Amino acid sequence: MSTDFQKIREIASASLLPDFFAVRIEEEQLFDAFKEMVAKIKLPKPLPQLDRIRQVLAAAPDPNAFIEEIKRLNLWQMLRDILSKIKVQ
């Protein structure tokens, strides 16, 4: 796993609030790595929420816009759980 991916996982695990996650991703300049990481996630069973997260991420111009839409869709906890538990190759 790349160092960026590990850093993103650490930020997600430490982020109880989605806005904190967005700020840290932006500060650390990890938004492109985050997009790459989410694109590489492979789950044993398809998860419609992950597909929706990917759609939102693809359309988002920056981490703040992404998080605002994730909050609106009530997908923060799902995203945080996925990022904390998955293995990315």
Q: Give the integer Cα–Cα distance in Å for 5 and 20.
A: 17
Identify the band that residue 85 occupies on the pLDDT scale cut at 50, 70 and 90.
Answer: confident
Q: Give the integer Cα–Cα distance in Å for 32 and 42.
A: 18
Nearest to 37 by CA among 86, 76, 71, 78: 86
pLDDT at 49 over 90: yes
Task: Quote the pTM value.
Answer: 0.89
Identify the band that residue 89 occupies on the pLDDT scale cut at 50, 70 and 90.
Answer: low
Residues in the chain: 89
Mean pLDDT for the stretch of residues 48-61: 96
